[in-house]
Chain A
Amino acid sequence: MVRYTFKKLFYMLVSIFVLASATFFLMKAIPGNPFQSEKNIPKAIQEKLYAQYGLDKPVWDQYLNYMDNLVHLDLGMSMKQQYVTVTSIIQNGFGYSLQLGLFAIIFAVAAGVLFGLIAALNHRKFLDSFTILIAVLGVSIPNFVVASGLQYVFGVKLRWFSVAGLNSPTDFIMPVIALALLPAAFIARLTRSSMLEVLSADYIKTAKAKGLAGRVIMVRHALRNAILPVVTYVGPMTANIITGSVVIEQIFGIGGLGKFFVNSITNRDYTLIMGLTLFYAVILMLARFLTDIAYGFVDPRIKLSGKKGG
């Protein structure tokens, strides 16, 4: 277990190193730099700018410097917003994104497990097919289509919720639904199929033969085992919600990380792009890592060994 944890942590560090180097050299590969396009800058100012961002040094020195800063969690200065560090931008935006993401995860798991359960208990009946249909729709409709549809119907036409911003608790409803729909649909499908598998297991028959109440069997014996695969989905779900939040925040005008990310791309603010990419990657890797560890606790049949682990 300890060995496994260290091994995973080691690979995480390797991945972050690879990603950091890749982003650095990709950004260096772009011809020119953000300060060249600006018109008629006196040479002295340009040189000063270069010096401020360390662009006057050889690439190798810049790389070492970048890596050194990274170790100290310094992601550098934004290239477009003056005197603003990337770290401070992340600090400002992360709160909104985290709230949105956590609500979406809670909503997705709750709705997904509930619908999956309903489908499995009504196997091959109307409610089952209905849930499957909704789940396939949920997987298929792109989240920005869902978001703009919700925004148009409930924000513009019916005026139930405000069109944009996160100023009152009800403002969370539309972005969270748009963000959670796809993971919820996935979880519903997962729960349904694993519930069906569990329900035909021998220990359920034993529980029934012992005369336990149906509710007890469902919750304590069946559901507890059936939601195990859902735990493995936490990693991919985090990835989904991160990429999803990028467009959802843009559509609903929420000043979270996603919005900064989109802006940094349109502005070609390279340090910000690099910083946010790394930050997202670390969050995702942490989520995957915690899932792996948690899975070992939840399902004792899985032995976490250093040799084999997905």
Chain B
Amino acid sequence: MSEQLYTASDFEKLTPSEKQTEKIVRPSLSAWQDAWLRLRTNKMAMVSLFILIAIVLLAIFGQFLTPYDYQTNDLSVTNQKPSSEHWFGTDSLGRDMFERTWMGAGISLQVGMYAALIDLLLGVIIGGIMGYYGGRIDEVLNRICEILYSIPNMLIVILLIVVLEPSMFTIILALSITGWINMAWIVRGQIMQLKNQEYVLASRSLGAGTSRILFRHLIPNSMGPIIVTITMTVPSAIFAEAFLSFLGLGVQSPAASLGTLINDALKAMTIYPWRMLFPAVLISLTMLCFNIFGDGLRDALDPKMKK
């Protein structure tokens, strides 16, 4: 067995160019950069994103584009058609509809965003506790969620606003009271799935505490579904607010949301149909863009789910 299988002459040194083949030339991409690259190729989602940015900018800065404001009555120019003076026409009190429409868009968007934000906060905390601790705590919280969920949330919202005075704050509050449950369940499911994975075990055996595991490992890795849920919450909150305004439980005059504008316009639709047009198109466009962008985001964050 002294015979050698290989001798030194069987080996030769790598040339410098061959050494390069193992080198990673492309910069490494984080999961977020990866998702962004995928999202960028989705034309519909990107168009929606730009339209949404435009809507947000107009809702903020639209008021500076005309010399009017949303609440000054001018009874000499009531019920006008869209013109170069009043771009979207005027309402029955002579208020400029361009101003009112963008003011309404601003309020609708704010309601949507704050509601989504509160859902996020409550949902992640409660869902995180449910998923991480499991057992008794999970069971009790889950029961509470199930009972709350089985009550039609729109009815609760309506009841609350009948009791509290309608305002932007109470609408957001009422929407959040049941809104967080969905988010909590999504976070719970994610965390239950993730907490038994090896990297969590590794982290724990290295001495990481509960909060570190939750906030450094579990929640960042659940971010995909969380973000998608938020993008889907915003349009449904906007719709809910419009629905409430429709029942006369929305923000009160002179302030207006898209829902109140549509409701006001509906009363005089046969005579002044154009007053309906702009708020109706704007609210539909906003929800459409949020939905398409949300779909794109889900595909980008979880390519396996794509169908």
- The distance from the CB of B200 to the nearest CB of chain A, in whole angstroms, is 24
The answer to whether A148 and B266 touch across the interface, beta carbons within 8 angstroms, is yes
In the complex, the answer to whether A273 meets B262 with C-beta atoms within 8 Å is no
Residues of A within 8 A of B235 (CB): 140
CB pair A285 B150 closer than 8 Å: yes
A binding-site residues for B, Cβ under 8 Å: 11-12, 14-15, 18-19, 22-23, 26-27, 29-30, 136-137, 139-142, 144-145, 148-149, 151-152, 156, 193, 196-197, 239, 242-243, 246-247, 250-251, 262, 265-266, 268, 273, 277, 280-281, 284-285, 288
List B contacts of A285 (CB < 8 A).
Answer: 150
Pair A288/B150 contact, Cβ less than 8 Å: yes
Interface residues of B (CB under 8 A from A): 146-147, 150-152, 154-156, 158-160, 162-163, 235, 239, 242-243, 246-249, 262, 266, 269-270, 273, 276, 280, 283-284, 287-288, 290-292, 295, 307
In contact, A18 and B284 (Cβ under 8 angstroms): no
The 8 Å CB contact of A247, one of B155, B159, B243, is: B243
Task: Check if B266 sits within 8 Å of A27, measured CB to CB.
Answer: no
Cα distance A262–B290 in the bound complex, in angstroms = 29
Contact residues in B for A152 (Cβ distance below 8 Å) = 269-270, 273, 276
A262 touches B247 (CB 8 A): yes
Task: For B163, give the chain A residue with the smallest CB separation.
Answer: A26
Contacts of A145 in B (CB 8 A): 262, 280, 283-284
What is the number of contacts between chain A and chain B, taking CB atoms within 8 Å? 105
- Chain B nearest CB from A30 CB (Å) reads 5
What chain B residues lie within 8 Å of A288 (beta carbons)?
150
- Chain B residue with the shortest CB-CB distance to A15: B150
Bound together, the chains give a CA A266 to CA B246 distance in angstroms of 11
A100–B159 alpha-carbon span in the complex (Å): 24
Tell me if B152 and A243 are in contact (CB < 8 A). yes
A68 to chain B, nearest CB (A): 22
How far in angstroms is the closest Cβ of chain B from A289?
Answer: 9
Taking CB atoms, residues of chain A closer than 8 Å to B243 are: 142, 144, 243, 247
Residues A18 and B147 in contact, CB atoms below 8 Å apart = yes
Can you name 17 A-B residue pairings with CB atoms under 8 Å? A11-B147, A12-B150, A22-B156, A137-B284, A139-B287, A144-B243, A145-B262, A145-B284, A148-B280, A149-B280, A152-B276, A239-B152, A242-B152, A247-B243, A265-B249, A273-B159, A284-B150
Known: A140-B291, A239-B152, A247-B243. 6 other contacts (CB 8 A): A11-B147, A22-B159, A30-B163, A140-B288, A142-B287, A144-B242
Contact of A29 among B154, B163, B283 (CB under 8 A): B163
The winner among B151, B152, B155 for most chain A CB atoms within 10 A is B155
Shortest 8 CB-CB contacts between residues of A and residues of B: A140-B288, A140-B287, A15-B150, A141-B284, A243-B154, A145-B280, A277-B155, A26-B163
Q: Contacts A142-B239, A145-B283 hold; do A284 and B162 have CB atoms under 8 A apart?
A: no
Whether the pair B150, A277 counts as a contact (CB closer than 8 A) is no
